[in-house]
């Protein structure tokens, strides 16, 4: 029981609902799984961002090399 103080000096006892032990264990397991998932998701997101940046850099390099090797100016549409 918890005592709840109300305005005017009145005290009221409130019964706290407790989960059965089996539900407490399940809740604890859930919180552990959720925590592990959040940690792994953070790692995944960091790697995904890094790979995306690397992909963009490689695409840019490939485009510039293709222009150089083919001698084609995409903007003007003429050969060098």
17-53 pLDDT, tens digit each: 677 888 889 999 999 999 999 999 999 999 999 999 9
Phi/psi of residue 3, each to 5°?
-95, 130
Q: What are phi and psi of 26, to 5 degrees?
A: -65, -40
What tens digit of pLDDT does each residue of 54-63 get? 999 999 999 9
> 12: closest CA among 21, 23, 4, 24?
4
Q: What is the pLDDT of residues 11-26, one digit of tens each?
A: 676 666 677 888 889 9
pTM above 0.75, yes or no: no
* pLDDT in the model for residue 68: 85
3-9 mean pLDDT: 64
């Amino acid at each position: 029981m918890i005592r709840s103080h109300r305005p005017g000096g009145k005290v009221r006892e409130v019964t706290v609902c407790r989960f059965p032990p089996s539900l407490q264990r399940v809740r604890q397991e859930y919180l552990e799984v959720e925590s592990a998932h959040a940690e792994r998701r953070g790692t995944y997101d960091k790697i995904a961002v890094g790979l995306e940046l690397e992909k963009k850099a490689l695409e840019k390099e490939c485009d510039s090399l293709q222009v150089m090797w083919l001698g084609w100016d995409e903007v003007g549409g003429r050969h060098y």
